[in-house]
Chains A and B, each alone.
Chain A
Amino acid sequence: MTEQIINDLTIQAATVNGSGSQTANLVLTRAIFKMGIPVAPKNVFPSNIEGLPTWYQLRITPDGHMARTDQVDVLIAFNPATWRDDLKSVRPGGAVIHEEAFSNADARPDVTFYPVPFSKLAKSKIQSDTLRKQLANMIYVGVVAGLLGIPWEALEHGVRRQFLSKPKAVQVNLDAIKVGLDYWQDNHSKTDPYHLEPRTGLVEGKVLVEGNQAAALGALMGGVTVAAWYPITPSSSLCEYLIAYTDRFRTDPATGEKRVAIVQAEDELAAVGMALGAGWAGARSMTSTSGPGISLMAEFAGLGYYAEVPVVIFDIQRIGPSTGLPTRTSQGDVGFAYTLSHGDTKHLVLLPGTVEECYEFARDAFDYADRFQTPVFVLSDLDLGMNLWMTPSFKYPDKPFDRGKVLSKEDLERLAGEWGRYRDVDGDAVTYRTLPGTDHPAAGFFTRGSGHDEFARYTENADAYARNMDRLVRKLETARAALPVPVVDESSGSPIGLIAFGSTHAAVLEARQTLAAAGRPVDYLRVRALPLSSEVGAFVARHERVYVVEQNRDGQVFDLIRLDLPAELVDRVRSIRHYNGQPIPAVAITEPLLESEAVPA
């Protein structure tokens, strides 16, 4: 027997969509996390309700890497349709738990097979006809527990945690796990090297959260009061979590009154329109969508920009163009969202790179929107939004809402009614607004997407138009300095730098470790907002070569960075792109970088 491999393996469950396997996978995840072992789950699911193949990858590393990997150590083969291909994904020396009925006669000699008669066990050992299909998945949890050495207490925790709202389901699920565990103990003995051992000091104080959960909590804490949305994968769960959270925390138990309005709109045009209308009327408002919805929101986004109406727009990106792969991830909307709408339009874009930032940026987006009176886009993606991520617990906000420059009745009395909606009196290009309902004769003004002057009057005057457009550029400059600054790590002292943003962060962290170990350490700047901070150009200036890593085909942020750079720095920047819909693995960074660096410059 080869040397033991402890707490360093990737489990992949290949199952059938809609069969209940996700519950089993989550139980397994929570059980291993309970052992004090870092986990990184990735759910790869089809655009389908039932029947198509789905995979769940559970990566376990001593260092807590959160990125996906292409290497599978332990395969749980539950789907006859993909069995042959799934088997190919297992690395030499790996272990394969599979339905006994699947033939492995001509299969690989370099892996260990553990056949289990899952169907027979389900038929004979699970009494409930209605639950048999779902519970069959729990049997493999038991087999894996036997194979890897997951203690019963951890399994119990996993099941209880998973069925928090359905405590009655706990026992039947535990019974099903026991069926698998017993089968393992009675029929197999371990010959592969993979083991799990409890640890302390690695995951204490950490929780498992989906980015969309975190963003919904952020919106709640950011004070959202109007949300309008249209269902679309992978953003739907954000508003569904928001509904659940507001039902719990924003509903008066005595009267049933809700301190929030959430509307399922008829389409994304209406969703963003409702959010804009609410923002105009003074509410903290939001919508949440994905690529196709962003396309539909283009016209209203321009109105929000030009009429200067605050609103927060979440884009949980999936891969396009068009319908694309609705259940696969991407960072392909960043360039489009930044300039969404016709004419000279530019938006504030926040780029959370962790679930913690999904929470913080969602919360702070409402401050930015109010402060700069403009749409603020929060660009997450399917990987960040829908997968569970291990994260330090979130911090309670330490500052009050920033509602921006709003003139009250008393302000207007003090000003004797002398004010102009689009007049820059503070020199920061951010002007004052009043809200409908303000009881002062000078409060009212006419908001329009057509040409307007400093006093919000309709005008087609060329100078007035240009003056306003120039002010909007200056406003963007004010915002540029106020948005989250890049996170920079130049501790490697290397002449090579990496730039990334969003969920690519996880793969970059791992890639940097691999590169350092290979004698090629690299510095790192993580972009967290658009327009780009001046820090980005400074970082490029301090490095000989800078690789911009992103999950889209065209190098959208690579292009934006080059546009902002002085000509003499443009050639220093190179592009690494990953765009197959699967979350980027570290190897997709290390390989092209090492290849590029091997060629004499």
Chain B
Amino acid sequence: MSATVNRVGLPRDAYKGAATTLCAGCGHNSITNHMIKALYELGVEPHRLAKMSGIGCSSKTPAYFVETAHGFNGVHGRMPALTTGAQLANRQLIMMGVSGDGDTASIGLGQFMHMIRRNIDCTYIIEDNGTYGLTKGQFSATADIGSVQKKGAVNTFQPIDPCAVALTLGCSFVARSFSGDGKQVVPLIKAAIAHRGTAILDIVSPCVTFNDHDGSTKSYSWVKDHEESIADVSFVPFFEEVHVDYEPGTVRDVELHDGSHIFLKKLGEDHDPSDRRAAMRVIEEGRAAGHLVTGLLYLDTTMEDFATTERIPERPLKDLGEDELRLSREDFDLFISEFA
């Protein structure tokens, strides 16, 4: 047998993209690698993948994975609108949105919120480093109050927590992770893809150039010291058999839309991911204790996604022809006669 291939017959290299142009050590590059691993292991067909992004360092990353897939690097903060339109045009596409904290929590906060409100079927990854990298180190809206800029300025504003906002809006999938925690990020990405609806994945991803110093709460060392995972996450795709070798009562098993399973192994206090208020409490208590709570915070597999609610066919709208879209000559004449 030649190189190892996945279930669609592709080697891992088929999921790579162009060489990164981000800084060496950038958390985003790790996320790119996690993405490649997740997509390869899931056996996502590249032609079904649509990589969507806005503007910023994070938004460049879709160029760095699955080079043969279509990608759309749009305008700042507007990835959700482009993603919504593309998803409606073709429900067969697997929408993978990559955004940053500026793109999501500042200029694009409105679109972020409204996408969640509609529950558009997509994965929405926030590569969250608390700073504007491309414009050289201004605070972003996710920067914690009191955190210190590289040149010493102190942030005096309350942070916007994308996960808390998403929960408030009734988002059907809310998770947080850390770019350095591949063990957690990879299964979460897989689960987000398997989930039918808007899956928000806020991944703290340190900026080595502008926000990796003492006094920052988005640095590698701070996150390593303060990350508190609520549960060990593992993912079993629909095409694999489920082997459960956990002790009874220690693991939660959630089945996703496509028949995949996500297993959550209790670490400390048992968190029920179907309990939205509990998810809010976990975030708040973590914040109060000075921790970064990571893991699958909330999941609702019963909520319909937008295209389903709107009764849009599974067959792509883009493929419909004149015979299905135009009125017949008879209907047309009848319709016009009603104007008389």
Residue positions of A touching B, CB distance < 8 A:
164, 206-209, 213, 217, 220-221, 223-226, 228, 249-251, 255-261, 263, 265-267, 269-283, 285, 299-300, 303, 393-394, 396-397, 400-401, 434-450, 458
A123 CA to B244 CA, complexed, in Å:
79
Q: Within 8 Å of chain A (Cβ to Cβ): is B125?
A: no
Q: With A397-B326, A447-B73, A449-B73 given, is the CB distance from A280 to B92 under 8 Å?
A: no
Which of A228, A261, A285, A439 has the most B CB atoms < 10 Å from its CB? A261
A226 CA to B93 CA, complexed, in Å:
16
Q: Within 8 Å of chain A (Cβ to Cβ): is B88?
A: yes
The 8 lowest CB-CB distance pairs between A and B, nearest first, are A273-B81, A277-B85, A283-B89, A282-B318, A277-B82, A278-B85, A281-B89, A207-B339
Q: How far is the CB of B40 from chain A (nearest CB, A)?
A: 15
Whether A220 pairs with B327 at a CB distance below 8 angstroms is yes
Contact of B310 among A258, A299, A439, A440 (CB under 8 A): A258
Q: How far is the CB of A32 from chain B (nearest CB, A)?
A: 14
Contact with A along B57-87 (1 / 0, CB 8 A): 0000011001111111111001011111111
- B residues near A442, Cβ cutoff 8 Å: 68
A256 CA to B339 CA, complexed, in Å:
27
Q: With A303-B75, A443-B70, A444-B71 given, is the CB distance from A277 to B84 under 8 Å?
A: yes
Whether B325 pairs with A250 at a CB distance below 8 angstroms is yes
Complex interface residues of chain B between 309 and 325 (CB less than 8 A to chain A)? 310-313, 316-322, 324-325
Contact of B332 among A285, A300, A396 (CB under 8 A): A396
Q: Told that A435-B90, A449-B74 touch, could you supply 6 new A-B pairs with CB distance under 8 A?
A: A259-B325, A277-B83, A277-B89, A278-B318, A279-B85, A446-B70
- B residues near A437, Cβ cutoff 8 Å: 47-48, 70, 90, 92-93, 316, 318
Contact of B322 among A223, A273, A276, A283 (CB under 8 A): A223
- B residues near A213, Cβ cutoff 8 Å: 339
User: Could you pull out 16 A-B pairs where Cβ atoms are within 8 angstroms?
Assistant: A225-B325, A228-B84, A250-B325, A257-B313, A258-B310, A258-B311, A259-B313, A273-B111, A285-B85, A285-B89, A299-B75, A300-B75, A439-B45, A443-B68, A444-B68, A445-B70
Contact of B78 among A256, A259, A300 (CB under 8 A): A300
Whether B81 pairs with A209 at a CB distance below 8 angstroms is no
Whether B47 pairs with A447 at a CB distance below 8 angstroms is no
Task: Name which residue of chain B comes closest to A302, CB basis.
Answer: B75
Whether A249 pairs with B331 at a CB distance below 8 angstroms is yes
Contact of A259 among B48, B67, B317, B337 (CB under 8 A): B317
- B residues near A281, Cβ cutoff 8 Å: 50, 85-87, 89-90, 93, 318
Whether A436 pairs with B93 at a CB distance below 8 angstroms is yes
- B residues near A401, Cβ cutoff 8 Å: 321-322
- A residues near B319, Cβ cutoff 8 Å: 282
Q: Within 8 Å of chain A (Cβ to Cβ): is B226?
A: no
Whether A450 pairs with B68 at a CB distance below 8 angstroms is no
- B residues near A256, Cβ cutoff 8 Å: 311
- A residues near B307, Cβ cutoff 8 Å: 261
- A residues near B337, Cβ cutoff 8 Å: 207
A450 CA to B59 CA, complexed, in Å:
12
A271 CA to B85 CA, complexed, in Å:
9
Q: How far is the CB of B39 from chain A (nearest CB, A)?
A: 13
Contact of B89 among A223, A282, A438 (CB under 8 A): A282
A208 CA to B62 CA, complexed, in Å:
52
A267 CA to B114 CA, complexed, in Å:
10
Whether B331 pairs with A257 at a CB distance below 8 angstroms is no
Whether B72 pairs with A283 at a CB distance below 8 angstroms is no
Q: With A164-B338, A225-B320, A250-B325 given, is the CB distance from A278 to B86 under 8 Å?
A: yes
